[in-house]
């Protein structure tokens, strides 16, 4: 917890530094160049003056203007691939708007002014030489291959600034000598002497929000005040390096203000905040080393859930990476969750191929955990992911524990012995014959009871644990951004006394009745060894205006289990976010939670600063 708080203050320093530096850099790059003086005389070999030859690079011919309009060449779930990349000076973090192909078939930079309705808004997350990968920020229509994407005005300006920065590497300067006649010994050079950054130096982008919050929790007669800090950042290539900082973090400091003493309530909002990641990462395509520290998923084995700590990886050869990691494990959605748990280990990973054809990544490692520095587990983990274009994907994770004596996996039986064997495995295969439908088969197994926080069942963050044994799922992505999905399976864990059917169904609207509202409805019924019950949840979000965003999450959860006495709970969480004066925002949050063993109200207000266009 202390490490995460220190990281958050470090993140705040980086965001403030980026906010101060980047505007100054932008102003320097966009300032008008001084008027060019008359062309100087050039010194000939015999010392006489001569007229300089014309410079073709500074002739009256206008420089070639790079296109700002591109085509969508491939779509995979919430990812869009464009037919241009570095060759068009596209950078990570740029924004694009997507429209349908115009009826007249005329595609040029003027398409942005024709008033065509926007189908989607995109954010560039990865760039190759001739292609770019984008996340879908929002949609108001159906995305299709061949549609037209064009850079937003802000991204066009970002690209112009990057091009201007490159041009400054080759501008005329006056060079002076210490002897000779100044009129004859001064000449105009074509480049700046001294160290150069290099053509491969990355051009970064900085988008971030940080804010301070004040709020409170009321639980019966217990009132507490909360002071908080929020950091939401996406800063790439910091200072022209290959260091990146990205993620979301929100923390609170509680102060009891009532006469009733007790530990501060860990609310549903606080638990969800622990599932986000944030941290620094070093990824240099020209270096075999990779670093990261913060709250992260281990890139080569995300099945270990989030870790507060650090990792180091080193490429050995073309396809292999070896590395180590260590930290605490704060993720309450982990099947082996304990708030006082630490973890450390090493791994070997093999990766080959690309997502345009065939791609495989296979990781094997060993790790050990401690509970308050007392040894708990020693295990081997294996994780494999295989993809073939968009048609087929396979995922498998497996953990094999060494024999041990520990109370962690034998609740109520301290000192119980656990033999060597498979402790957990999850396997999933999905097939997408056409873009509208995806079929899946899953197998989930636990040898011991999981220890996740059951309050996260209602928000849908624990669905993968509710179905043990074999299950199947199907998803239909219909026109108008409507999706229907469902799953059916029979519980069959080693600790089950009987088999039972589990089921889940859901319905989502990406643009409900063309109102811009995103709506998701979900229902799940489950029965297994660690508990039985059902839950219904609803999620709604909408941009009320360009600067006002609303989000609501609500649900009703029934969970009968020895894990908790809170067997019935209803919850509502609402957030309103408003941006004003371009750089500032305010946010209000209210949560209502009512259960038979736990009930509270939580509220908070936040004031913050933003730069670079990032909005959570």
Assess contact for 250 and 230: CB atoms under 8 A. Answer: yes
Q: What is the pLDDT of residue 22?
A: 41
Closest CA to 116 of 69, 67, 66, 65: 69
All residues at 6 or more sequence positions from 42 whose CB lies less than 8 Å from its CB, including other chains:
49, 50, 51, 52, 187
Per the CB < 8 A criterion, the answer to whether 165 and 201 are in contact is: no
Q: Which helix H or strand E contains 30, and what residues bound it? A: helix 2-30
CA-CA distances (angstroms) from residue 13 to 7, 8, 202, 245, 585? 10, 9, 22, 12, 19
The three-point CA angle 246-250-254 to 5° equals 155
Look up residue 458 and give its two tokens.
Answer: 């209602």
List alpha helices for 31-180, DSSP H. 153-167
Which DSSP letter does residue 35 get? P
Structure tokens at 467: 């179905």
CA–CA gap between residue 360 and residue 351 (Å, rounded): 6
User: What tens digit of pLDDT does each residue of 340-370 get?
Assistant: 899 999 999 999 988 778 999 999 999 999 9
Measured distance CA(63)–CA(57) in Å, rounded? 9
Long-range contact set of residues 387-390: C-beta below 8 Å, sequence gap at least 24: 387/355, 387/358, 387/359, 387/360, 388/357, 388/358, 388/359, 389/355, 389/356, 389/357, 389/358, 390/74, 390/76, 390/432, 390/435
Which ranges of the chain have pLDDT less than 50? 1-2, 14-15, 17-63, 168-200, 259-260, 408-415, 494, 614-616
Dihedral angle, C-alpha 111, 112, 115, 120, nearest 10 °: 110
Q: How far apart are CA 590 and CA 267, in angstroms?
A: 12
Q: Which of 314, 341, 310 is nearest to 326 (CA)?
A: 310
**Site of tokens 């940080």:** 210
- Spatial neighbors of 62 by CB under 8 A, at least 6 apart, are none
- The helix/strand count (H/E) of the chain reads as 5, 34
The CA-atom distances, in angstroms, between 125 and each of 64, 81, 298, 383 are: 26, 10, 19, 25
Q: How far apart are CA 593 and CA 599, in angstroms?
A: 5
Burial 475-492 (b: 16+ CB within 10 A, else e): bebeeebbeebebebebb
Span between the terminal Cα atoms of the chain, in Å: 23
Among 419, 473, 430, 464, residue whose Cα is nearest residue 445: 464
What is the distance between the alpha carbons of residues 477 and 270, in angstroms, rounded to a whole number?
33
CA gap 13, 355 in Å, rounded = 36
What Cα–Cα distance (Å) separates residue 232 from each residue in 77, 209, 210, 354?
25, 5, 6, 30
Quote the tokens at residue 285: 């395509």
The DSSP letter of residue 512 is: G
- Of 136, 130, 105, residue with least CA distance to 118: 136
Strand partners, 248: 232
């Amino acid at each position: 917890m202390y490490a995460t708080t220190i990281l958050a203050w470090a993140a705040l320093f980086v965001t403030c530094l980026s906010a101060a530096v980047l505007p100054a850099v932008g102003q320097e790059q966009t300032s008008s160049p001084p008027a060019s003086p008359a062309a100087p005389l050039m010194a000939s070999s015999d010392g006489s003056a001569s007229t300089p030859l014309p410079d073709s690079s500074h002739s009256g011919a206008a420089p070639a203007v790079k296109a700002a309009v591109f085509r969508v060449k491939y779509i995979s779930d919430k990812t869009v691939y464009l037919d241009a990349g570095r060759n068009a000076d596209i950078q990570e973090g740029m924004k694009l708007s997507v429209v349908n192909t115009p009826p007249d078939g005329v595609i040029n930079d003027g398409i942005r002014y024709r008033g065509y309705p926007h189908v989607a808004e995109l954010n560039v997350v990865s760039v190759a030489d001739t292609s770019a990968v984008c996340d879908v920020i929002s949609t108001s229509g159906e995305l299709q291959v061949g549609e037209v994407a064009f850079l937003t005005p802000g991204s066009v300006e970002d690209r112009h600034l990057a091009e201007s920065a490159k041009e400054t590497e080759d501008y005329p300067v006056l060079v002076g000598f210490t002897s000779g006649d100044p009129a004859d010994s001064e000449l105009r050079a074509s480049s700046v002497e001294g160290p150069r950054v290099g053509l491969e130096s990355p051009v970064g982008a900085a988008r971030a929000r940080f804010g301070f919050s004040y709020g409170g929790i009321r639980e019966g007669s217990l009132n507490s005040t909360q002071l908080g800090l929020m950091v939401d950042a996406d800063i790439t290539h910091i200072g022209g390096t290959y260091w990146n900082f990205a993620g979301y973090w929100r923390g609170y400091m509680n102060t009891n203000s009532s006469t009733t003493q007790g530990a501060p309530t860990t609310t549903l909002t606080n638990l969800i905040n622990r599932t986000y990641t944030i941290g620094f990462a070093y990824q240099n395509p020209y270096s075999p080393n990779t670093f990261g520290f913060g709250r992260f998923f281990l890139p080569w084995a995300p099945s270990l859930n989030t870790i507060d700590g650090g990792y180091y990886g080193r490429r050995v050869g073309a396809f292999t990476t070896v590395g180590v990691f260590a930290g605490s494990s704060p993720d309450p959605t982990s099947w082996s969750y304990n708030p006082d748990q630490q973890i450390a280990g090493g791994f070997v990973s093999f990766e080959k191929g690309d997502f345009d054809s065939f791609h495989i990544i296979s990781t094997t490692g060993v790790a050990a955990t401690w509970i308050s520095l007392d040894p708990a587990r020693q295990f081997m983990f294996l994780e494999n992911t295989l993809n073939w274009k968009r048609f087929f994907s396979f995922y498998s994770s497996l953990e094999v524990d060494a024999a041990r004596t520990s109370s962690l996996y034998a609740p109520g039986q301290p000192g119980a012995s656990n033999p060597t064997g498979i402790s957990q495995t999850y396997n999933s295969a999905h097939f997408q014959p056409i873009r509208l439908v995806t079929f899946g088969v899953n197998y989930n197994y636990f040898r011991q009871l999981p220890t996740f926080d059951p309050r996260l069942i209602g928000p849908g963050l624990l669905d993968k644990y509710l179905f043990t044994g074999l299950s199947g799922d199907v998803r239909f992505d219909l026109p108008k951004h409507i999706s229907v999905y469902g799953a059916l399976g029979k519980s069959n864990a080693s600790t089950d006394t009987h088999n039972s059917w589990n089921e889940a169904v859901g319905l989502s609207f990406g643009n409900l009745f063309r109102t811009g509202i995103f709506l998701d409805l979900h229902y799940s019924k489950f029965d297994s060894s660690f508990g039985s019950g059902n839950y219904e949840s609803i999620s709604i979000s909408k941009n009320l205006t360009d600067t006002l965003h609303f989000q609501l999450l609500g649900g009703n959860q029934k969970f009968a289990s020895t894990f908790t006495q809170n067997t019935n709970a209803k919850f509502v969480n609402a957030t309103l976010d408003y941006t004003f004066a371009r750089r500032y925002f305010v946010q209000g949050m209210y949560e209502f939670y009512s259960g038979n063993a736990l009930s509270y109200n939580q509220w908070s207000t936040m004031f913050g600063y933003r730069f670079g266009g990032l909005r959570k």
